[in-house]
Amino acid sequence: MSEFGSYADIVAVFDRAGIPRFDKGTNYLPTDMLAQVHAGERILPAADNRELMSRLSSPQNNSTALASELRALRQSNDELKAELKGLREETRAVATHAANTADNTRRMYVNGVLVYTDPAAPISSKEAA
């Protein structure tokens, strides 16, 4: 028990003062007022409630907006797929070029002098002489 009395005492005071409980909920409060709220209930700001009620009252508009957004996302997805395909092709071309360059430079000579050799195939003593 609190300094104000039991919960039942407080509810009795609310009842005598005409403070509504809204234990079954409401979509709209006509004026500013005190109210008893209950565990598990949700309280929305007026702007959010107006938006929710508008969307609930015209679900076709919601579906239209959702379908439009879905079309835009599909378009964007198709564009990203095309870009990814192009990037993969470019990456393959770079990798092929790098592999060809590596193959061509396993043993590189400049003016008849060996300037590079693949570490996996070191210079033989005959080449070093």
Ranges of each domain in the chain: 1-44, 79-129
Given this model, what pLDDT does residue 94 score? 96
Query: What pLDDT is attached to residue 20?
Result: 85
Using the CB atoms, write b or e for 98-117: b if 16+ within 10 Å: eeeeeeeeeeeeeeeeeeee
For residue 122, what pLDDT is reported?
Answer: 62
Nearest Cα neighbor of 80 from 92, 72, 69, 65 is 72
DSSP-derived secondary structure for 35-86 = ----TT-----HHHHHHHHHHHH-HHHHHHHHHHHHHHHHHHHHHHHHHHHH
On whether the CB atoms of residues 118 and 107 are closer than 8 A, the answer is: yes
Whole-number pLDDT of residue 125: 54
Per-residue model confidence (pLDDT) at position 23: 76
Under-50 pLDDT residues of the chain: 128-129
